Amino acid sequence: MDRRHALGLIAAAAALAACGEKKPQFAAVDLTGADYAKDFSLPDTNGQTRSLKDFRGKAVVVFFGYTQCPDACPTTLAEIAQAKKLLGADGDKVQGVLITVDPERDTPELLKAYTANFSPDFIALRGTPEQTAAVAKDFKVYYKKVEGKTPGTYTMDHSASSFVFDPQGRLRLYTRYGSGAQTLADDLKQLLATSA
């Protein structure tokens, strides 16, 4: 193969590569275009109804959990808070949202204090049992009350993954429990860059 022919092939390959739009490679499951988990409409700890439109311009990480959760909830909220720190100034463009699956025990005051332990700007949402069931169904999230050894004590079994929405309010990612703060930060960085 002569030099001119080889250069022609290289140029053609470069032109083809430039034509294809580069799709981000996320560590999380890419849910772009999914037909569920489109929004929520639930009261925050001040009684104000919140939905995704309240957070336009920010990537939103939604997690379903409860304040008396022994492991998955504090681990996940700590990872979201750490990911925000790892992003530096871009961390201000990330909103953490906890939706309680235990509205019976999770009072607004308790939720506010709990989320503040992780990040002062995290928001907790608490619906009625019926609202909670409806939003969990829309997000395809599992949760169930598990009675304890004594009357009045119980835990909540629940899905332990997070949903990430882009700054335009579109569902984009499903992050598995325990993926780590750096992995989440890397995905959020890509998401913020491609949504600018």
Domain assignment of residue 13, yes or no: no
Residue 58 pLDDT exceeds 90:
yes
Residue 168 pLDDT exceeds 70:
yes
Residue 9 pLDDT exceeds 50:
no
Domain assignment of residue 9, yes or no: no
Residue 56 pLDDT exceeds 70:
yes
CATH, residue 126: 3.40.30.10
Return the higher-pLDDT residue of 190 and 2: 190
Query: What mean pLDDT do residues 144-171 have?
Result: 90
Residue 92 pLDDT exceeds 60:
yes
Q: What are the residues whose beta carbons fall under 8 Å from the beta carbon of 120, sequence distance 6 or more?
A: none
- For residue 7, name the pLDDT band (cuts at 50, 70, 90): very low
State the residue for tokens 């959020």.
188
Range of the domain at 182: 24-194
Q: What's the pLDDT score for residue 88? A: 95
Domain assignment of residue 53, yes or no: yes
What pTM does this model have? 0.86
Q: What's the pLDDT score for residue 152? A: 75
Mean pLDDT is highest, among 33-37, 69-73, 127-131, for: 127-131
Domain assignment of residue 14, yes or no: no
Residue 21 pLDDT exceeds 60:
no
- CB of 93 within 8 A of CB of 167? yes
Binding site per annotation, positions: 69, 73, 158
Distance separating alpha carbons of residues 40 and 139, to the nearest angstrom: 9
**Number of domains making up the chain:** 1
Domain assignment of residue 170, yes or no: yes
Query: What mean pLDDT do residues 70-86 have?
Result: 94
Binding site per annotation, positions for Cu cation: 69, 73, 158
Dig out the tokens for 189 from the structure.
């960085």
Domain assignment of residue 57, yes or no: yes
Chain-wide mean pLDDT for the chain?
A: 88
- For residue 5, name the pLDDT band (cuts at 50, 70, 90): low
Q: What's the pLDDT score for residue 148? A: 87
Name the strand (E) or helix (H) holding 13. helix 3-19
Q: What is the DSSP string of 82-139?
A: HHHHHTGGGGGGEEEEEEES-TTT--HHHHHHHHHTT-TT-EEE---HHHHHHHHHHH
Domain assignment of residue 3, yes or no: no
Domain assignment of residue 6, yes or no: no
